[in-house]
Structure 1
């Protein structure tokens, strides 16, 4: 179990990295992020009031709602992340690295994605709209990701009226780059794959995967829908780099086996050693 002191350090570090991406790359070129950060940047541009004021003020209603509907731990960690972002934005003022909006979009998107990814891994959030999306997900047919995407497309599109339409298009690119970077930070480059194997030689295949590769295999009772023949279905989880090796091992034992491979988000315990989620 990770202590709260370590979590707070991780959240503060993530907010620091995020601020660097905004202050050094995106904001000088009028490129913004989505969510409440984007709204705060546009409000600051229009009114002249500091971004650090808006980022807290606009998030407060979402955090109050999250405290009531979701729980205190996630909400308080998210509040700490936003306060850290507000503080960093007041004290960090580095000169822009480049004036090229394309390069700023790419590198800014990567850096803010890294910062948000770290914050998510340590159990927090920088965006109150995510809290709203989690709540709305329970009452609508749309997923959390789809709801957040809708909010951000609207916010980033609106930035064209505040800055320029070039800035709005660059902001969309930065958002998608950051989204991918968040996925890499939270899930890792070494993606996991789930494998379902239907074979008449289940004992031999299971032995090959378990003893030769050191991976756990679960045997499931199955039945063919056409002939109603009883069979065993094998299920295992391996890293993306091990998929080819597993397929070769299965084919050596039973060339006629049926193999289904699919993505999974996380696996813990057993013979599969994987990082523990911080949520």
Structure 2
């Protein structure tokens, strides 16, 4: 009996250069958000970063030390449960954030207004964290716990992270005062939204499924008027058994309304479902203008 050969995927050097340059840039941006906006105004992020900020404030020790020490157990979990590449990328991201936090720690803060610090610090920090996540790493051990618990419990990643952060923000209220805890909650909300923008992109794409009896006309119209390719799937009604053609197409956010207009113009009884696409790999999909 022949043994199955293990397939080893060799990525080009350019892939790793781009990956770790993105992590470097993300760590610099995140450190700016923390050290020039959030930390000087006693506004914290969630997760291990938030705990590290509070520990640094209590002990007077460098933030970078706590970022590395508190994340070590989670890194081990990530290595065991998620994979080596993720653990390496996360370790590098944490070390870089610790380094740049030390560098920017001596810089003067940008604003004394905690609300402005929460908003703009959240935007800057979220941008940096989003770049790191997009490159395959992480800055926060609680996310690793959430990913593992998502596989072994009924709770989603978002629910686990929010549950953990409720305790962390409550601790911030006891340490800095409840007004600062509320500013921290605002910052956490802005950071999470900014991460979504970076990961998903400003111009989201949508997958569209169209069940219709006028598939030829709709396909032709989508090709001609939107410049979009269409995949034809053969199906049947579950109740009637009648043959149905299902069209599959990917469009940008700006093209969704135009697509619905085209479909209903050709077939008023068409059934259309539209879902957000978080990423597209391969194919010939490109952002195009509506015409």
Unaligned runs of 5+ in 1: 275-279
1:31-60 Cα deviation digits (max 9, x unpaired): 000111001011111222221110000001
Aligned residues: CA RMSD:
1.5
**So what's the TM-score if we normalise by structure 1?**
0.93
1:64 aligns with 2:76: yes
Q: Corresponding residue for 1:12?
A: 24
Structure 1 68/260 Cα, relative in aligned 2: closer, same or farther at 3 Å? closer
The one of 152, 155, 160 equivalent to 1:142 is 155
Q: Corresponding residue for 1:227?
A: 240
**So what's the TM-score if we normalise by structure 2?**
0.89
Task: Tell me the distance in 2 between the aligned counterparts of 1:255 and 1:128.
Answer: 51
Task: Tell me the distance in 2 between the aligned counterparts of 1:105 and 1:41.
Answer: 15
CA positional deviation for 1:260: 2.0
Unaligned runs of 5+ in 2: 1-11
Asked if structure 2 preserves the Cα contact closer than 8 Å seen for 1:216 and 1:270, the reply is: no
1:104 aligns with 2:85: no
Q: Runs of 4 or more off by more than 6 Å in structure 1?
A: none
Pairs aligned (count): 274
Tell which deviates more after alignment, 110-119 or 258-267.
258-267
CA positional deviation for 1:17: 0.6
Task: Tell me the distance in 1 between the aligned counterparts of 2:205 and 2:17.
Answer: 30
1:183-208 Cα deviation digits (max 9, x unpaired): 11111110111212121111111122
Q: Corresponding residue for 2:129?
A: 116
Task: Tell me the distance in 1 between the aligned counterparts of 2:139 and 2:281.
Answer: 27
Task: Tell me the distance in 1 between the aligned counterparts of 2:264 and 2:18.
Answer: 46
CA positional deviation for 1:110: 0.4
Task: Tell me the distance in 2 between the aligned counterparts of 1:237 and 1:97.
Answer: 43
1:208-265 Cα deviation digits (max 9, x unpaired): 2134322222222232244332211112110000112211221232233222222222
